[in-house]
Structure 1
Amino acid sequence: MTNNVRGVVTQEIGGKAYGFRLGANEWCELEGDLGKSTSEIVKDLEMMARSAQVNLKLFRSIFRAALSYSEPDITLREAGELMEACGMENAGLLVVRIVEAGMPKAEAKGAAGKPKRAARSR
């Protein structure tokens, strides 16, 4: 289940519901952990998708950072164990959903590059 307004993805693992979110704090923490900018992390994910190569360290780091939203003291090791409990393929798909939910949606732009205003009712 995903709450698109807040970017929260809820997933049941081993009979417990966990909330995952990549908000500003989680992205900043992830940047610090990986030594890369958010755009570099996203590019790495896109390259993995195109090449079908998996970087488990990256997936586990994203999984842990997003899970820290609801489980602030989660360790990398515990995150890896939850990924295994979820099933590695399912965990990979979950990470993709989490990243998509955590990325801001582009606004529709008007002719001058400004966001379009909602039509006024008369």
Structure 2
Amino acid sequence: MASRLTGELTFSALGSHVIMVFDFNAICEIEDEFDMSVSELQDTLQAPRMKMIRSIFRIGLSRHHPDITDRKAGEIIGDIGIQRAAGLIGEAFSAAFPKAEATGMTEARPPASA
């Protein structure tokens, strides 16, 4: 389930709760890893390589699971299936960029509390 306020998505895999979020740092890491903007990445994701999906998945998990590796991300994907993994990435991206009017706020996401 995704949290509109935090952009986080929680799901179960390999017998544990896993949290995915594409926060600002994750988006920057994705841009660095693939040397392209998020909008360019969207075009590439129409026919992605499996390695790209695994890396994006890992980056989405890294905030709450800082020791995650590509191999572990691949094991999670293997457990839940590639279709579900791709769906979770899409859902987490949508949660990362909510429409301001949908949340009733003037900003896309509220500022982080200090």
| TM-score normalized with structure 1 length | 0.75
Could you say which structure has the greater relative contact order, defined with CA pairs below 8 angstroms and 6 or more residues apart?
A: 2
Residues 107 and 43 of structure 1: CA distance in aligned 2, closer, same or farther (over 3 Å): farther
Whole-Å separation in 2 of the counterparts to 1:82 and 1:13: 6
Gaps of 5+ in 1: 109-114, 116-122
Structure number with larger C-alpha Rg: 1
Q: Following superposition of structure 1 onto structure 2, how do residues 38-117 of structure 1 map, counting pairs within 5 Å?
A: 38-45=38-45, 48=46, 53-105=47-99, 107=101
Deviations 1:59-112 (A, max 9, x none): 11210111001101211111111111111221111111111111242559xxxx
Cα RMSD after superposing both structures: 1.8
Count of aligned positions: 103
SS of the counterpart of 1:3? coil
Identity across matched positions, percent: 36
Gaps of 5+ in 2: 107-114
Deviations 1:15-39 (A, max 9, x none): 2111100010011111111111122
